[in-house]
A = this chain, B = another copy of it.
Amino acid sequence: MSKQYHDNLLSDDALDQLFREARTYNGWLEKDVSEDQMKLIYELAKMGPTSANMQPGRFVWVRSEEEKNKLADLASEGNQDKIRAAPVTLIIGYDIDFHEELPWLFPHTDAKSWFEGDEEGREEAAFRNSALQGAYVIMAARAIGLDCGPMSGVDLDGVTKAFFGDRPKVKADWVCSIGYGDRTTIFDRSPRPDFETFNQIV
């Protein structure tokens, strides 16, 4: 039986660490992220919900000099140095044929058949749900005391070819550096909207 935490507000420190004081970093301290840390991030993030537990995200953790350079060369000019300096940059991709895994990921019903023959629908579902998984990764990295630098400015077709070339149904979607952020490299916090601006209660 799962534990419940009804009305249990996390501590102010925890909310600061996850949301309010966490920032997007553009530069990194010279301190490695270990394989154990990468695995711990994933072990937490994979518990987050995806539609029919499809888990369409496919993740490449880029940490060797050679692979970092390969990825950096495919990034927009402003992102190249960030990728080279980060201890690790995660490529978030998604598998359009995620439904092949549903017999073991969602075993209590034949969910695979829901998606067969509808490649466009699968791509939409994979895109949406892998983005959720990437957000869980960001929250998990912060929860273990690391910082993130998510980036959209990369040549996605090039990254797909370079890092998922052996898997024709997997596409790269965005990337996220992870490490110990250098606080001298952050910008002023961009404005955040009031609740009323983009929310309605009906």
Question: Which A positions have Cβ atoms within 8 angstroms of B?
Answer: 1-11, 13-24, 35, 38-39, 42-49, 51, 53, 55, 57-64, 67, 104-108, 125, 127-129, 131-132, 134-136, 138-140, 142-148, 150-152, 163, 173-174, 180-181, 183, 186-193, 195, 198-202
Q: Which of B19, B140, B198, B201 contacts A44 (CB 8 A)?
A: B19
Alpha-carbon gap, A9 to B131, bound state (A) = 24
A104 nearest CB across to chain B (Å): 6
CB-defined contacts of A62 to chain B, threshold 8 Å: 202
Interface SS, A side: mixed
A24 nearest CB across to chain B (Å): 5
Q: Which of B15, B131, B148, B183 contacts A1 (CB 8 A)?
A: B183
Q: A47-B192, A105-B191 are in contact. Are A55 and B198 (CB under 8 A)?
A: yes
A125 nearest CB across to chain B (Å): 7
Q: Which of B7, B24, B44 contacts A145 (CB 8 A)?
A: B7
Q: A3-B21, A10-B14, A190-B106 are in contact. Are A138 and B49 (CB under 8 A)?
A: yes
